[in-house]
A and B are shown apart, each in its own frame.
Chain A
Amino acid sequence: MKKIALIIMREFNERARKKSFIITTLLMPVFMIGLMVAPSLMMLYSTSDQKQVVVIDRSGQVADKLQSSDEVLFEVNNTLSKVEACSTFGEDSGVFGILYIGSEVEQRDSVQLITNSSSSMILEENIAMQISSIIEQEKLKAYNIENLDQILADVATEIELRTFVNNGTGEEETMESTSSGINYILGMLLGMLLYMVIIIYGQMVLTSVVEEKSGRVLDVIVTSCTPFQIMIGKILGIGLVALTQIAIWALLVISASKFLVPAVFSADVVATSDIMLQSLVGTLGDTGYITTLFVYLLLFILGGFLLYASLYAASGSAVDSVQDGQQFNTIIMMPIILALIVMMSVFNDPNSPLAFWASMIPFTSPIVMIARIPFGIPIWEIIVSLVVLYGSFILTTWVAAKIYRIGIFMHGKRPTWRELWQWLKMK
């Protein structure tokens, strides 16, 4: 035990005391926030060029009602035929494209957009929506209803749906307010975080085993302790680095939840804002809930990391260079990627049988389960999933240790699957 502890501390110190570790740990939250905020900022400030579209309207109903915007400028030109327009407003004309509207708008192929370069979904949607609503308006007019505009304004409706978790009382004040939108974002963040930790730290284990082996440090250590002690010490040491990193983030987020959120969003601001913001502030400000989430996250990260790290260690022991390890790496990645795909589908229905089983089977369970937890999962499911996960970790470590203790002494060509199987069976 003392030797394992020594190895754990060496692995931990080598990494956690590096400047790069401290910098990434502190910058990562900033980076994550940036990643979430940046797309909307870019949408706000990016001014893509206004696109000039020449409109030929044979129906006479649409052209003058089309509304130009920052994005698109409509120019009506009914004197040209479609063919003439195509040759006049070619690629060199500076015109983005030609919108041709046939005499019978609703007929198939009647509305066409002919562009000089690739078009965009937003633009196409914009044009189709505008034309549909113009035709709708025209049709409504044909009914000759008086005060049509006012009636339309009157009937326009928008409702807000509030979601609660039933606690048996039916009292709005005591029931927990939920929002699938917020749960989705939380689940996504947690799942992605776990995915990244497993991949990054798992590969760290592989690289570190290979370096120790090819640098011949292993020959020295192996005459001081058993291969199993070396392997488990390395895995736990690197795992400890991962946990430290997450724990630091947890502290940052929890203290933000306790002090920053109430300070920024005062009660009266929240009361007047829309439901989405209300529940966001509600969730972020609920320090107890956030803390619980992080406890689960740490448990699943540790389990998931340990499960995969032993496989990475075994792969590293079998090869002489990191490049040779890539083949094994690809195979280990497969269930992780699968978990990520399942996670995406879980958001549609967190209680589907697929979601349930994927969060029980150990190789996908950490990622899928942590993504489901924000939606409110029965505690027994979480416990079973954890038990299965940690049980499987013991199993994979046992298998990995058998390969490791032989692999580290083998130099030369990469072993075949058959050889690996023989190592497994060796006494």
Chain B
Amino acid sequence: METILKIENVSKSYTGHKALDDVSLEIPRGAVYGLLGPNGAGKTTLIRVINRITIADAGRVLLEGKPLTNDDVFHIGYMPEERGLYKKMRVGEQAIFFARLKGLDKREAERRLRGWFERLGLKDWWGRKVEDLSKGMAQKVQFISTVVHEPKLLIFDEPFSGFDPINANTLKQEILGLRDRGATVIFSTHNMASVEEICDHITLINKSRNILSGSVDEIRRTAGGNTFTVTHRADHDTFTTAVGTLAEVLGESHGIVGGYNETKIHIPKDEDVREVFARLNDKCGVRSLQEMMPSMNDIFIRAVNGTL
């Protein structure tokens, strides 16, 4: 697959704190690429380096094989995490202003924007002031302003934060639509559910480092083995004592139907699987055992804990 954006050994330090430590990744053309990581991991810094808002201490960013220039950045669509709109301006005028800064002429900008406003249910807000908008609506306006010039590369920083589930879903559909029309989309998030639904590639950043990269299918396949859901009667302590260090507890829920508890475990070594089953059967009153496809959330937790 052809690489559109390549990040090579990028490092960035702020006084007394390393925000990015030798991060490299390759983003395939036409991908929906998720940058995952806990808060403060360095996702936003990486995005700002790509946008040349922050200049990296070391490393470089290549767009289609050539070092990224200011002119390239001016064609990227970028939606920052903290939304920025001129409060006193009218919504429509503001969207036109942003679109024209990105190079659209006035008539074309208005034509496209009217369409977007109609589609996202903002039609009646065209002539209102930005300060009258609700937070969710302002975010939609920001989203539209980011994509209206149909850039080939789109970067969203935490696009779903602050959206209700219905609007978040609308946004997901729009992002997928943009990909289908040929755009490459990069977005950062710590919302794992959204990753499973729309990302085809991810990079997991933790403590300033890239700890896991690849296509979602591949990662799930390699990280997928030996995750089980156990339905049993034991309490938490009995259960953990029983499995000891052989298995890692990923999550548990108590008191499901019939007074059973459900615990999700991962067993790192293949050869331990039988042993663990034997112990559980012996100590915990197991009712059922089921192998799971791990969710990205499980992989995320295991990767951050260093047990992947």
The answer on A and B forming one complex is yes
A residues within 8 Å of B by Cβ? 3, 6-7, 10, 13-14, 212, 215-226, 409
Interface SS of A by simple majority:
helix
- A223 touching B73, Cβ below 8 Å: yes
Contact partner, A223, options B74, B83, B88, Cβ 8 Å: B74
- B101 touching A219, Cβ below 8 Å: no
Distance in Å from the Cβ of B34 to the closest Cβ of chain A?
20
CB-CB under 8 A from A224, the residues of chain B are 74, 98, 101-102
B80 interface residue (CB < 8 Å to A): yes
CB-CB under 8 A from B137, the residues of chain A are none
- A216 touching B83, Cβ below 8 Å: yes
**Contact A223/B54 with A6-B101, A14-B89 known, Cβ cut-off 8 Å:** no
Q: A6-B97, A215-B84 are in contact. List 19 more A-B contacts (CB 8 A).
A: A14-B86, A14-B88, A212-B86, A216-B82, A216-B83, A217-B85, A217-B86, A219-B78, A219-B80, A220-B78, A220-B142, A221-B101, A223-B73, A223-B74, A224-B98, A224-B102, A225-B101, A226-B70, A409-B54
CB-CB under 8 A from A218, the residues of chain B are 84
- B53 touching A215, Cβ below 8 Å: no
Distance in Å from the Cβ of A419 to the closest Cβ of chain B?
11
CB-CB under 8 A from A223, the residues of chain B are 51, 53, 73-74, 76, 78
- B100 touching A219, Cβ below 8 Å: no
- A216 touching B101, Cβ below 8 Å: no
**C-alpha spacing A409/B14, complex, angstroms:** 13
Distance in Å from the Cβ of B152 to the closest Cβ of chain A?
14
**C-alpha spacing A393/B51, complex, angstroms:** 31
B145 interface residue (CB < 8 Å to A): yes
**C-alpha spacing A426/B79, complex, angstroms:** 28
Distance in Å from the Cβ of A101 to the closest Cβ of chain B?
69
- B74 touching A216, Cβ below 8 Å: no
Distance in Å from the Cβ of A281 to the closest Cβ of chain B?
45
Interface-central residue, B76, B86, B88, B101, by most chain A CB under 10 Å:
B101
Contact partner, A216, options B76, B80, B89, B100, Cβ 8 Å: B80
Contact partner, B84, options A7, A13, A219, A225, Cβ 8 Å: A219
CB-CB under 8 A from B18, the residues of chain A are none
**Least CB separation from B149: chain A residue:** A224
B181 interface residue (CB < 8 Å to A): no
19 cross-chain CB contacts under 8 A: A6-B97, A6-B100, A14-B88, A215-B87, A216-B82, A216-B83, A217-B84, A219-B82, A220-B78, A220-B84, A220-B142, A221-B98, A223-B73, A223-B74, A223-B76, A223-B78, A224-B101, A225-B101, A409-B54
